[in-house]
Amino acid sequence: MNRDRLLRWFPFLAWPRPDRALLVNEASAGITVALMVIPQGVAYAALAGMPLITGIYAALFPALIAVLFSSSARLSVGPTALTSLLVGASLAPLAVPGSREWVALAVWLTLLSGLMQLLLGVVRFGWLLRLVNSPVLMGFTQGAAVLITLSQLPALLGFTGRSYAQLLDGPPPDYLAIAFGLGGMAMLWIGKRMAPRFPTTMALVAVSAALSFAVGYALKGGAVIGALPSGLPSFYWPGGLGATELGTLLLPAFLITLVSFLETASSAKVDNARAGKLWNENQDLIGQGLGKIASGLSGSFPTSSSFSRSAITLYAGAKTQWSTLFSVVVVAASLLWAMPLLFHVPQAVLASVVVTATLGLMKPRSFVALWRISRIEAAIALGTFALTIATAPSIYWGVLGGLLAALAHYMYRHLHPRIVEVGLHADGSLRDRHLWHLPPLAPSLYALRMDAELDFASASTLEHAITAALAERPGLTDVCLFAHPINRVDLTGAEVFGNIRRLLESQGVRLHLSGLKLPAQQVLERAGLLKPGALFFSYRTDAEALAALRATAEVSPEPALAGS
């Protein structure tokens, strides 16, 4: 096995050998991230409907395995708000949150998603997940952020256990919970802006636990985290999975795979750009997939790369993967010895952690900005946003609906390619003569350009344009296709090109073909459609075509051709 192949399967072998200065720097960054991920893990476990301790499990072995087998050096892998919400939303119709059945299904969801990512990475199919474009992701992310925020309001505002409709009928809200929740949000907001490298989340947890203990909040019936088991996670197997359950979980598992990949992409592109490297998306899929499998076998829920924690890793000065190892050590030490310290932390504080994180995902101005650029894509984003909220808890329909709308828009554009009649601009370039109010190149010449591939989607539109020109211009003697934008021709395109050539020859009209690229040219040559003929002419450049057309179609002399 050569070195390149060895490093592909075991990328940790290429880690830099650390010295004392590097280890001190990486330890500082790793500890900072660990102090952030521990309280976040507990909060996100509650969001996923899982036992709270599993949120910390998700920051241990999954983070270790992912960093060993990923290509991106400074990604913080662990629980995230979006994947946690997807778990809770996907399993809500199937089991009771926190029950043994719920945990088993969540683990299967984690394993299935991990296997999908691993398989996609191994066969180098990372490109497949790029089908979700930015408008769909933006609409889904913001819709999910609204749902996450709404789900946390009962704990944040002190009416845990009651629906919104029951607020006026029950006892008054827990004002201490409101103080803890809103105070926690204020502290996190100030910390993010004043000291982004400081572990504000862990400081909030420590302060709130101390205050809760001092006022006897738990003894007064306040909602606190309570007792969490100490010790490292043990191996967990969820048991068998029936065919019906498997069919139910496949779609949510694929959506978690998709969202996780997009979360990873947003962090990995920044990390690799700062390191001056190209992003190896397939290797990161392998690492993330193995991380999810490790999470499932630890009895936890799906993990992903956290953009906020990865940003903290960069802010803290991390340079290599060693920072993640220090973070894992701190998480392991916390599981062994620090769990009793979390007993008195109010659940309202956990809600404040989740809400503060998700409020950062809400960016209404992005819809306005997108509307200015493309109203169709803005409509797709808004539709995805609305569908995500409307279909809750089955929020994956939001992404699927947005994906179908985006693909339909993509196909519509390819089925209706831009075909323009060109004229010579004053600068010597060929441009849309109707848009620029240019005269035709010659009275008896139809000169056109198609800005698309000549394939099954666009070929019939080209044939229709030429047929319409023949019908509308009885005196037409020449047709020139400026083919420089055409970089691919498929079988349907070749057949249609042959039909066009035969149609023009049958009416005694000369066909001129200019600037055809080599890949397209080879396809038409193999089909025997570029053979010389009395009524067919081919030119390498548009300048050559214009020179020839001046002689045959009486094109007026113009400035030298600048481009097309």
Buried b (16+ CB within 10 A) or exposed e, 367-383: beebeeeeeebbbbbbb
**Could you tell me which of 199, 215, 196 has the C-alpha nearest to residue 39?**
199
Which has the minimum average pLDDT: 37-46, 308-317, 549-558? 549-558
Q: What is the pLDDT of residues 171-182, one digit of tens each?
A: 778 889 999 999
Q: Which fold has domain 419-554?
A: Transcription Regulator spoIIAA (3.30.750)
Q: Has residue 445 got a pLDDT over 90?
A: yes
From CA 209, how far away is CA 196, in angstroms rounded?
Answer: 22
Q: Which residue has the higher pLDDT, 319 or 293?
A: 293
* pLDDT band at 423; cut points 50, 70, 90: very high
Whole-model pTM: value is 0.82
pLDDT at 406 (0 to 100): 92
Which has the minimum average pLDDT: 30-34, 70-74, 88-92? 70-74
Pure H helices in 157-218: 175-194, 200-214
Q: What is the pLDDT of residues 181-221, one digit of tens each?
A: 999 999 999 988 888 778 888 899 999 999 999 999 999 88
Q: Has residue 560 got a pLDDT over 50?
A: no
* pLDDT band at 167; cut points 50, 70, 90: low
Side chain identity, residue 302 = P
Cα dist. 396→26, 251, 362, 402 in Å? Answer: 38, 8, 18, 10
Q: What is the pLDDT of residues 267-309, one digit of tens each?
A: 787 777 777 777 888 999 999 999 999 999 999 999 998 877 8
Q: Is the dihedral of CA 115, 49, 219, 200 positive or negative?
A: positive
Q: What is the pLDDT of residues 82-133, one digit of tens each?
A: 899 999 989 998 999 999 999 999 999 999 999 999 999 999 888 877 777 8
pLDDT at 516 (0 to 100): 94
Cα dist. 500→193, 224, 465, 506, 513 in Å? Answer: 64, 76, 10, 10, 12
Q: Has residue 338 got a pLDDT over 80?
A: yes
Side chain identity, residue 28 = S
Could you give the angle at which helices 243-275 and 281-297 cross, rounded to 10 degrees?
A: 130
From CA 63, how far away is CA 288, in angstroms rounded?
Answer: 9
All structural domains of the chain with their residue ranges: 51-410, 419-554
Q: What is the pLDDT of residues 473-518, one digit of tens each?
A: 998 999 999 999 999 999 999 999 999 999 999 999 999 999 999 9
From CA 449, how far away is CA 483, in angstroms rounded?
Answer: 6
Q: Has residue 17 got a pLDDT over 70?
A: yes
What percent of the chain stands above pLDDT 70?
A: 95
Is cis: bond before 393, omega within 30 of 0?
A: yes
Question: Which residues contact residue 520 at a Cβ distance below 8 angstroms, ignoring those fewer than 6 apart?
Answer: 454, 483, 486, 487, 488, 489
* Distance between first and last Cα of the chain: 50
> CA torsion angle for 306, 310, 315, 316 (degrees, to 10)?
110
**3-state secondary structure (DSSP) of residue 509:** coil
pLDDT at 444 (0 to 100): 92
pLDDT at 561 (0 to 100): 46
Average pLDDT rounded to a whole number, residues 35-48:
92
